[in-house]
Structure 1
Amino acid sequence: MHDAWRNYANAPKEGAIICPSNVIKEGKAHYMEMMSNNESLPVIATRLNGRIYCYVNACPHQYLPLNYRSDNIISSDGQRFLCSAHGAVFDIKTGNCLTNDCDKLDALPVFEDLAGNLCIGYRKS
């Protein structure tokens, strides 16, 4: 389990609502700023084959948002995020960097609550 997102000073608490899950569209990047501890955490989410993938929107190269220069950051095949600042490529499903020597994106575990909200954390069984 990769929980690096918890190390951010402004990381929201587990269970925090990110947004209504229906705003995350298939093959489209959705950018948000989550407020926690009076600071914002940039978040990016997309839906791939019906499953939602969510990450801290910070390229590990310089911690600029992936959409720093352009909001068009999903590859033409819909499988990868592209950093608009320096061209790093990341697998949407894993967050792994596929180019350069970058670390992986910091994944945010998410689940959909009964009200249809996308929340941070792990679904309680």
Structure 2
Amino acid sequence: MKPLDSDLDSVQTLSEVIYISNRNRYERLKKKDILFIEAQGAYIDIYSTCGKKNISTHLKSFLNQIDDSAFVQISRKHAVNIIHIELVHSNAVVIAKQSITIGKLYRNNLLKKLPIIKSKA
């Protein structure tokens, strides 16, 4: 019998992973490894710590399927995994040294999801 992938040992439940369709096979990807998602028309690019994956789906559909509160849409074209946000500017977030613009309509929703510690003003 083939030994299990050691990477699987760190996965606690199926709710922590998704499977990405790639030709005639399905590749496992941990949700926590996903940095952000970028819409490209009828496709999305999933940027993760393991590289970039391209799949045929719409951003809204992907977010509905993944059903995880750590993923927040921040513009018409982008959704981010909030655990990877390094910095929030007035109009952008920084993830893995990449700046991603926040749409005006999405900013308040993003800020509600972040555990922000407010300082005395």
- TM tier relative to shorter chain: under 0.3
If each structure's helix is expressed as a fraction of its own residues, which one has the higher value? 2
If each structure's strand is expressed as a fraction of its own residues, which one has the higher value? 2
Query: Of the two, which has the highest radius of gyration?
Result: 2
Please report the TM-score for the alignment, with normalisation by the length of structure 1. 0.24
